[in-house]
Amino acid sequence: MNIISVSHLTKYYQVLQKESGLSGSLKSLFNPQYNLVKAVNDLSFTLQQGELVGFIGPNGAGKTTTLKVLSGLLYPTSGEVSVLGFTPFERNNTYLKSISLVMGQKNQLWWDLPPIDTFHLNKEIYEVSDQEFQRTVSEMTHLLNIEQILKTPVRKLSLGQRMKCELIAALIHRPQVLFLDEPTIGLDVVMQKTLRDFIKEYNRKYQATILLTSHYMEDVKELCKRVIIIDKGKIIYDGSLSKITQKFATNKKITLVLAKEIDLKSLAQVTEVKEIEFPQVILNVPRNKVSQVTAKLLQKFPVADLNIEEEQIEDIIRKIFSGRELS
């Protein structure tokens, strides 16, 4: 059964256009002009129970917008969205008790109160029993090693400690579905890893279905077998992380070790030379020409060793993120 099902989801924002200055303000007050921002444009995908899927794409691609629609904070402009059989924007109580949205850039913890107070508040809101509450809090604070800061006001905590508490607060009611929007943003690598392990464990232990956005490829590589890549509100890839190269890698890297010096011009005639440090030469070769180029190299040059590599997923994603691959 599909836990999450998104079909032709479109979400436009209306943004008021305002010229600068007072006259601009007056103009827009009496004759408002709107611009339409197509944040999400005809998205379709499904998630099965227990999947942990990376939802990635460049800034402004529409990730947060999609997560907000899925968690019932925004109405879709058009299209169908169903999560656990509910329509999120109807904000059914049972539905809201079954999900959680965590945003790394926003906090839900009460700033002047210690985290344990927010946990208690969420316990009441979500009607969690005393027993369950105790179990969840002690288990999670132990896993994240933050027993000692539960009674410290949030404003005195480090970013990493706060993020750990944010996660626990969001999980007090043990949601079956989690939307994680950049949960590791701004954290150092050690803290990122701690949170990743925690997310992985939550996913494994409760068979929770998780959709996660992150700009850190390490998060995606460690946690997600499947990724959905979106750009300008549209899905450009949905599939396994390991197969991304097949769709986006345009080149392969050939490393040559030469047995003796050669005329580099003649090498450049065969393919693009990226780097030379005799006796090693690195070449950039279009994927569809690899066998042809390799044959020529072996035939024409004194090759002592030859190695063919795929582009790294990390590099490919970086290219997609920076827009070069797609523009």
Ligand X SMILES: Nc1ncnc2c1ncn2[C@@H]1O[C@H](COP(=O)(O)OP(=O)(O)OP(=O)(O)O)[C@@H](O)[C@H]1O
- For residue 187, the minimal CB distance to ligand X (Å) is 16
As measured in angstroms, the least distance from the Cβ of 163 to ligand X is 16
Q: How far is the CB of 59 from Mg ion (least distance, A)?
A: 8
By CB under 5 A, name the binding residues for Mg ion.
63-64
Contact partner at residue 39 from Mg ion, ligand X, none, CB < 5 to 8 Å by partner kind: ligand X
Complex with ligand X: residue 37 or 143, whichever CB lies closer: 37
- Least Å from the CB of residue 207 to Mg ion: 26
Q: Cα 324 from chain centroid? A: 19
Q: Which residues pair with 79 in a beta bridge?
A: none
Count H helices and E strands in the chain, helices first: 12, 13
Q: How far apart are the C-alpha atoms of 306 and 257, rounded to whole Å?
A: 6
- Whether 3 contacts 47, CB under 8 Å: yes
32 binds ligand X per the rule CB under 6 A: no
61 forms part of the interface with ligand X (CB under 6 A): yes
Provide the mask over 250-279, with x wherever binding to ligand X is found by CB under 6 A and - wherever it is not: ------------------------------
C-beta closer to ligand X: residue 66 or 203: 66
Residue with Cβ nearer ligand X (24 or 60): 60
Q: Of 68 and 164, which CB lies nearer to ligand X in the complex structure?
A: 68
Q: Cβ contacts of residue 93 below 8 Å, gap of 6+?
A: none
Query: For the residues of 141-192, what is the DSSP string, one character each?
Result: HHHTT-GGGTTS-GGGS-HHHHHHHHHHHHHTT--SEEEEESTTTT--HHHH
What's the closest the beta carbon of residue 85 comes to ligand X, in angstroms?
25
Does the protein bind ligand X through residue 65 (CB under 6 A)?
yes
142-166 core/surface letters (b: 16 or more CB in 10 A; e: else)? eebebeebeeeebeebeebbbbbbb
Nearer to Mg ion, 61 or 146 (CB): 61
Residues that contact ligand X, how many (by CB under 6 A): 12
Part in contact with ligand X (CB under 6 A); list of ranges 63-71, 106-114, 158-166, 312-320: 63-71
Picked from Mg ion, ligand X, none, the partner binding residue 13 (CB below 5 to 8 A depending on kind) is ligand X
Own/partner pairs, 272-279, CB within 8 angstroms, 24+ separation:
279/304
Q: Is 57 in the site for ligand X (CB under 6 A)?
A: yes
Closest separation in Å from C-beta 13 to ligand X: 3
4 bridge partner residues: 47, 83
Q: Let me know if 13 is exposed, middle or buried by CB neighbors in 10 A (0-12, 13-18, 19+).
A: middle
Residue 239 makes CB contacts below 8 A (sequence gap 6+) with 226, 227, 247
Distance CA 48, CA 4 (A): 7
Q: Report in angstroms how near the CB of residue 213 gets to ligand X at its nearest.
A: 7
Residues found near ligand X in the complex (CB under 6 A): 13, 15, 37, 39, 57, 59-65
